[in-house]
Homo-oligomer: A and B are copies of this chain.
């Protein structure tokens, strides 16, 4: 039986494209929110779930980080990095110079703002809840309309692609993580993701933790901080380091860091993604 993977639907979103890139043989099951994808994995509806965690332009996906920080029973088992190519979709036969409305999720509209302002200076932008929903709304619009969406959405919904790669900045990639009930065994080229926070706020706390990594020459591929959501100025620190949590030096540093912080959680160890050619 094919492996089942929960993804952030509907079909035709970048999450579905990433799931296909990760495992083209799997049975993909759409869920309507990131917490729902996580619940599907926790309750064994699916073996794995895929969610976006970070975009090179927009930064971290807060909902995914919240889930990793708060929920138990799911770990990161793998990662996929995918280039994001926004396309301009229309109902087949629609002429570009007739377009009056441009539908998309506000993030996609923001990422393509310069293109729209140049090529469709008079068009009105209309917000939608996802790029896939935008395509549906565009197809049923009574005024001539376009939508910003994926190539895959064009196939699924029978839309025509008027333009490709319309995002303002070319280097737009999203990292997705694959969640499962266990993380990945060591492969020799691994990453470990973790978070920690402090109950108090005094000079040098973060410095004291980074020292543990620096004196062991462990490279940090990501150092991020985000508000805890409780008040401004309280942060959770998120770190990706090179190595597997079962490597002796990594295991030692994790033990030492755990003693210096008030909250500590390892999200899992997994193979580093190697870009496909």
Contact = CB atoms under 8 A, between A and B. Distances in A.
Interface string A79-116: 00100000000000000000000000110011000000
A223 interface: yes
A44 interface: no
B231 A171 contact: yes
Nearest to A103: B127
20 contacts: A56-B230, A57-B62, A57-B229, A59-B60, A81-B232, A127-B128, A127-B129, A169-B229, A173-B231, A173-B232, A202-B219, A203-B213, A203-B217, A203-B219, A204-B213, A204-B214, A204-B217, A207-B213, A224-B225, A225-B225
Contact of A235 (B109, B202, B223, B233): B223
Contacts of A232: 54, 56, 81, 173, 175
B59 A227 contact: yes
Contacts of A189: none
When A and B form their complex, which 8 residue pairs have the shortest distance between CB atoms, in order from nearest? Answer: A204-B214, A127-B127, A207-B210, A207-B214, A203-B219, A224-B225, A127-B129, A59-B226
Nearest to A224: B225
Contacts of A220: 203, 206
Interface residues of A, number: 51
A254 B54 CA distance: 30
A258 interface: no
A59 B226 CA distance: 6
A39 to B, nearest CB: 15
Given A219-B201, A221-B233, A105 B127 contact: yes
Nearest to A229: B57
Interface of A: 54-60, 62-63, 81, 105-106, 109-110, 125-129, 169, 171, 173, 175, 201-204, 206-208, 210-211, 213-214, 217-227, 229-233, 235
A80 to B, nearest CB: 12
Contacts of A219: 201-203
A233 B106 CA distance: 25
A226 B222 CA distance: 10
Contacts of A223: 206, 225, 235
A60 B62 CA distance: 11
Contacts of A214: 203-204, 207-208
